[in-house]
Amino acid sequence: MRKGEKIFFASLAALAVVLVAYKGWIVASDTEEDPGIPFYTTADLSVQKQASQLIRDLKCRECHTLWGTRDMTASVPSPPLDGLGSLRTEDWFFDYFSAENPQEILPSRLKLKYRMPSYSHLDEVDIKILASYMASLKVEDWYLEEVKKKEYEKLTGKTYKPSDN
């Protein structure tokens, strides 16, 4: 190799090292630690199974997202159920599901056919399972504000400002 060529290849190698290091730095500074999924349930397995069956039979996912999923065709702007157990108590859910008119407890801004239906016709045991399961659907503190925001915006159709609640 001539001297000129040596210098040329040496500079090329140096440039490659710099580029690789720079790329590594970008990637490293881009990946903040993934905080993971914020939702979890505190219900025991038997409640989880019974509630999941009820939720399937009663087609709650036609209107609500739960564990991040809902029916593909669903377009009702209702609050996701994930994390609601951090906002409300089991008694509240029990009263809400037992109510002849749930809108007396939680007013609706939607047309009648999209509103939360009454489940007062269900057996009390089933309402208890649903209420207990709903109350078990918790959210990690770092995502709590996001759950409040989604709930507020779905219920009211207004933009959430933390000072409102």
> By the criterion CB under 6 A, which residues form the site for ligand HEC?
55, 58-60, 62-64, 76, 78-79, 81, 84, 88, 93, 102-103, 106, 108, 110, 114-117, 119, 130, 134, 151, 155
Quote the least distance from Cβ 163 to ligand HEC, whole Å: 19
Quote the least distance from Cβ 100 to ligand HEC, whole Å: 13
- Please report, for residues 8, 94, 108, the alpha-carbon distance to residue 42 in angstroms, rounded to integers and kept in the order given: 65, 17, 29
Torsion angle (degrees, nearest 10) of CA 4, 10, 11, 17: 170
Whichever of 38 and 117 has its CB closer to ligand HEC, that residue is 117
Quote the least distance from Cβ 35 to ligand HEC, whole Å: 24
Whichever of 140 and 155 has its CB closer to ligand HEC, that residue is 155
Quote the least distance from Cβ 47 to ligand HEC, whole Å: 13
The two beta strands, 39-41 and 137-139, are: antiparallel
Please state, in angstroms and rounded to a whole number, the distance separating the CA atoms of residues 158 and 145: 16
Please state, in angstroms and rounded to a whole number, the distance separating the CA atoms of residues 152 and 128: 25
